[in-house]
Each structure stands twice: as structure tokens, then as C-alpha cells.
Structure 1
């Protein structure tokens, strides 16, 4: 099952996020040997301070089996600010219709082979389906991800092959980095679902998620995070340059209002 943790509800899932950061440390530092910062067994970077969205696959026992981080490309992101050399001088994508998928990983020690619900293949596909469906609901059309050739083969095998690449494959330390583009289309989502035999809604209702896996005595939504999201929505309404971008910004606004029970539309009428 998928739990979505974002800037609004992160205070209610600190335990779950700790598991996410611990899994990232085991995968990226211990197994892959990446040059990442690990403190107290958790891997974090400054992008985690920007209230990103985490797509988290959780077992019935509350253990994190896999995760992915989603960042807006209109603000700081890894392709633009860390891996820009891949782009060979071309500008990084900047659009409310494109999100960046980063820090994807699964717990290979906990999961097995095959295609059962407890398999690497199933959890990999479940996280991808969760990310694409969540983004699609927010009006996002494409995802960009910095991957290596191994991940590129995984995506192709799981009926989730990138439809294009940006820049050139570029050596980055021990690996070769590639910037891949994937559309958030219903066709792609259905193909990944069929590959892994994923049926029904992958998302756990937030109220049930809080009840089952949330932090006891957690505070209500972080007011600073909500304010940051409000500012972001207003910014997207102001910078939208065409009907598609405006529609995406309005859709995101509606989703945030629904999630926070707040009115975020003050000032929206100033868009020209």
C-alpha cells in the first residue's frame, strides 16, 4: 500500500519518514557507495528541507518497503542543481507540468524475487504507479529522473521505459548518469499495473494511514509548511504561461484546499 507524505502531513509521519531516510542510507551509501551524507543512520540532503512529496510503500506491519521523492522542477531540484552536466549546456526543465522523481529505492533485504506482493518487482511497480497516479491527479504530465543504466534496464523490463532522454549519458563517479523522461499517462500506468498485476487503489486513505502508522500525539498540519504551499500555488498561478500550466496550477490548488481544509485562493484572481 502507498502512503503519500508531503509538507502538509509530514509532522504526523515522522516515524515513517525516519524509516525512509534509513532505507536511503542503506541503499545509496552502504550498497551503492554513493557520496551522500548520512547522519545517525539516515540519508538526507537539502532538497528534503523543501517539503517534497514522498511516495512510500508500506507493509501491513508498518515497515517501509520502498519509496520515491517528488520535487517541483520550478524550484531547486537535482537535475538542475546537481546533475546539470548531463544536459550539455541545455536548460533544465522548468514547468509545473513536469516533476522530478528522485531517491527511488526498495528494501531488497526484506523483499523476495518473483511477482508476489512481497517481491522487489511488485514494490518497484507499486511505487511507480503511486508516483504517476499522484502526479497525474495534480495535473502533471511528465516526470524527469536521473537514473543509471541499471535502472534504465529495470524501467524497460517493467513496461515503464522512458520515452526520451535529455542531454547525454555522463560519467558521475562510479556510475553513468542519464536524465530520463516518462509521461504520466494512463497508458503507462496501466502497462506498469498489468506487468505487476496491481489491482485496485494503491493508496491508503490518509485518515486510516494516520490511525495505523502515524505518530502518536502528533500535531496538526504544520502551519509553516501550509504557508509555503500556499505561496507556491500563488506563484504557479502567476507564472503560468499557457492554458495547460494554468489548469495544472488550479488543479493543484483544489487538491491542496481539499487536503488542508483551508482556502488558498486569496490573490488567485490577480493572474492575467
Structure 2
């Protein structure tokens, strides 16, 4: 796998699982899922019995991820390569998924990118790239999938927000702006889509150890700050996000809408 091994079990005993959390047989689309957090979330949904469509722009990377997961979960792993920032590509991609795999029950808007630079040195191109990747993509894919969920009267949309939806550090102001916008898009989607039977919620990861944060994890001074600032005393591992996703993707959250569930080891709760 291209991400740390998840800590949750690969199989579950149905006698210990409440039926409200059952999502076996559902079809899920996870954007940006060829690696990192997206791949871990896809794996968690597969463990729960879903058929999962992996998405990204690089067909080769998607196929590599599919092959790794298919070794464990067989033909329940599918792929759909399209650019989530391109409205036409999104429309065609979602239509193809629903035709070839089935109606999308669960959408996870995970695609995101980070770029660190002082605000006074941040370029226009980098600003627009972050805005398109982190925020516009969730609007485009969320809108397209919701248009198909609405006539069916049900659906779950989970936007992957961030600790930086609430707090920020120097050098990431544009990133925080996109994640703050995604928080409010989540609430706005709830307002419009809730009456149609669709729940839209968000997950806000704190500091997680992934290949994208490997340089920060390796920076002992910064890593010590994260451990000291987090009541849990450690970096998050990608498997820590799966439980929150299963909750928000399942009937257990049918009366939960427009909420952001922070999975941050308690960082936001303390000074």
C-alpha cells in the first residue's frame, strides 16, 4: 500500500455491529483516492462491504491502487479517471460510473492539494490551483452526484475538510481559505439538499502522517510540536479516519446534516 497500514480490522463480526452502521452493498465514489488518505478511506469502505470507485487524473496510479486493493477485495474495486476540476469531465465521469457500476449512494469529496509559501510570495497560479482543487472540485462533483441522488430520495456526501477549516498557521493562508470555504459549502449543501433526503457532512482531519506530510513528520522540531500540542500525544494515522466515515456514510447519521466532525486527537479543543 502507498499509505501506512490501517489499524482497524479487515473483517468484522456482524454480531458486534449495530445494523445502523451497515453499508454493505452500497456504491461509493471517493475522489483523489489513488494514494494517502483517499486510498485509506476507500479501503475502509471496501472493508465495510461497499463497491468503491477510485478516482484521480492519472490512470496508471489508479490502476496500481486498484490492483493493490483488488488483491483483498476483488471486483468490488473500480476506477474512474477524470479531472474533478473540469465540469464536462465530471459530468461524463459520473454518468459513466452510474451506467457501469450503479447508482452512487456515497460520495467522498477527498481531492486536495497543499502549497506552502508566505502570503506575500504566493503566486496567482498557485492560489487558483488550490481553489480549483480543494473547493471547486467538491462543488462540481457534489452537484453532479446530488442531481442523481435527489430523484432517488437518499444519499450521503462527505467532504474532507481540515483542522485548517478552523485554525491556521503561517504559510498556508490560501489552503486554509479553501478548507474554510469547504466547511461552509458543506453547510450550504445541507441547506439545499437536506429536504431531498441527502445528508452532507464533513470530516476535519488534524495532523496525519501520510506521504504528503512525510517532510513534516521527519522534522523533529515540528513533529515534537504536533505531539505536544495534541492531547492524544501523536500524529494521526489514516485508519483513524475510517470510523468517522462509516458513521457519516451509514443510516446511523440520517439525522446528522451540515456537521463537521474533527478527527484531530483533540487539538482544536485545547490551548
With the shorter chain as reference, the TM-score category is under 0.3
More strand by percentage: 1
More helix by percentage: 2
Taking structure 1 as the reference length, what is the TM-score of the superposition? 0.24
